[in-house]
Structure 1
Amino acid sequence: MPEEMLESVKMYLRLDGNLEDDLLLEMIAAAMEDVKTASGKSKTADGQDIAKSSLYRTAVKMLVAHWYDNRGTEIIGKTVTPLGNSYNAILAKITTSQEYV
């Protein structure tokens, strides 16, 4: 499933080429798992896989972008930006909405 999101994530990150595709695929898989785990949701209310949801896919892209931009746990001379309110709002929506189970 991460392969299906690779091109849209690359477009979201404004990346050309395939030099970092393996890294991005790992990040996409981890982000997909993280959003499902953090929300406790895996399906939409109509029984489809949550990965088909635009809201879920946007959260995955945002999380991958955050991880991509803030690689490494300690960066000397740079402050790591916390995840933005938009991501947190999307995660809260997925977590609390009856549109997801």
Structure 2
Amino acid sequence: MTETVKEYLRIDGTEDDKLLGFLIDSAKEYLTGAGVKGTDSKRYELAVIMLVTHWYENREAVGKVLGKVQLGLQSIILQLKAEGLKSE
């Protein structure tokens, strides 16, 4: 997933790999805390990328999700949670 995030953020090199790995793990924990189970869904991957991008570009606000990102993320989280309910 790190390579996908680096491609999305247009990052070359390996200087930020450790930070990106931390942000990816944090994003997955965030989604778990929001009631979303990890899946192979592209929407899950997009949600992780959205969070990582937001936190990477707004480092002073790590741990918080602000503005437009929050609205898009909420929509994805609700869809993924609804899918989880169907499969139970």
Residue 100 of structure 1 deviates from its aligned partner by: 5.9
Consecutive unaligned residues of structure 2, counting only runs of 5 or more, are: none
Aligned-pair identity in percent equals 37
Residue 90 of structure 1 deviates from its aligned partner by: 0.8
Consecutive unaligned residues of structure 1, counting only runs of 5 or more, are: 43-48, 74-79
Q: TM-score, normalised by structure 2?
A: 0.80
- Cα RMSD over matched residues? 2.1
Find the partner of 1:88 among 70, 74, 80: 74
Deviating above 4 A after TM superposition, structure 1's stretches of 4 or more consecutive aligned residues are none
The verdict on how the C-alpha distance between 1:11 and 1:41 changes in structure 2, with shifts beyond 3 A counting, is: same
Q: Which amino acid counterpart does residue 37 of structure 1 have in structure 2?
A: G
Other-structure match for 2:48: 60
Residue 88 of structure 1 deviates from its aligned partner by: 1.9
SS at match of 2:15: coil
- Please give the alpha-carbon distance, in whole angstroms, between the structure 1 residues aligned to 2:45 and 2:86: 15
The structure where helix makes up a greater share of residues is 2
Q: TM-score, normalised by structure 1?
A: 0.71
